[in-house]
Amino acid sequence: MTFFCGSAVVATLASGITSAPLQEAAGMIVVPFEKSITTIGLWLTDINKSFQEKQDLIDQNEELKNTVDTLTEQNNILIQNQSELSRLQELYDLDAEYSDYPKVAARIISKDPGNWYDTFMINKGSKDGIKKDMNVIAGNGLVGIVYDVSSHTAKVRTIINDTSMVSAMFLKTNDACIVNGSLDTMEDGYLEVVYISKDAKVKNGDELVTSYVSSKFNEGITIGKVSDLKLDSTKLTKTARVTPVVDFKHLKEVLVITDLK
């Protein structure tokens, strides 16, 4: 186009003829060309604008993702704090319920494999006044007993452990019985209660607590409520099921009663 225009100028000046025909010819060539260039320019501008808008959306989306991640993290922290507050409130209420007994709070730091907290280790030991056979409580009642102690840790065997046997009694009647630990029955949500006197005036729904005749457990600590009372095969005693008040799948903090029976 530059060459054409230059040639047209030179030719016009050299010939001395009017430039009208050349102007008309140039108009026929240049105007469509300008329109094409303008159209292409607008099209490229729209594409550039579209890319810019897309990049802006990508940046905004990334910013929103970061905001969501931050809020999610903050929300998880709040949920954890709320959960911990609820557990500590339970311990506080439990401490008040058994105010006659001195206690030490402890956190569970390890447990045996499996779904249940049948044995576990706490972060308090002999340096903190913990001794073997001290009772352990959490939630709404009895968890178990300390069976091994080191300077800074201690191991706890819970009442659901297969080797556990707890001397218990019915809170309303003081009738004695034994609660047998069993992970198998706990899968169905209960422990077996045996050696209930056939003449005991007890009924389903009665509360079971630790007995005053127990050699290791302090008296009156809640174990759970009984169900399925019936005569055993000998017809001399009754058996029942007890549903523990403690959640043995979600323990985290416990209280250790520092008074030995």
Residue 21, pLDDT above cutoff 70: no
Which pLDDT does position 150 carry in this prediction?
97
Share of the chain above pLDDT 70, in %: 89
- Mean pLDDT, to the nearest integer, of 12-40? 70
- Find the Cα–Cα–Cα–Cα dihedral 181, 172, 137, 226, rounded to 10°: 40
Residue type, 173: T
Q: Enter the DSSP assignment of 128.
A: G
Which DSSP string do the residues of 134-198 spell out, in sequence order? -EEEETTEEEEEEEEE-SS-EEEEETTSTT-EEEEEETTT--EEEEE--HHHHTTT-EEEEEEET
Which pLDDT does position 68 carry in this prediction?
81
Instruction: Please write the tens of the pLDDT for every residue from 187-241.
Output: 999 999 999 999 999 999 999 999 999 999 999 999 999 999 999 988 899 999 9
Instruction: Please write the tens of the pLDDT for every residue from 139-184.
Output: 889 999 999 999 999 999 999 999 999 999 999 999 999 999 999 9
What is the average pLDDT value for the chain, to the nearest integer?
88
Residue 23, pLDDT above cutoff 90: no
Which pLDDT does position 16 carry in this prediction?
64
Please tell me the pTM assigned to this model.
0.68
Instruction: Please write the tens of the pLDDT for every residue from 3-14.
Output: 877 877 777 777
Task: Return the beta strands (E) in the chain as ranges.
Answer: 103-111, 119-122, 135-138, 141-149, 154-158, 165-170, 176-180, 191-197, 207-210, 222-231, 237-244, 253-257
Instruction: Please write the tens of the pLDDT for every residue from 62-73.
Output: 888 888 877 777
- Mean pLDDT, to the nearest integer, of 32-59? 82
Which pLDDT does position 241 carry in this prediction?
98
- Mean pLDDT, to the nearest integer, of 52-70? 83
Residue 47, pLDDT above cutoff 90: no
Question: How many other β-carbons are positioned within 10 Å of the β-carbon of residue 131?
Answer: 13
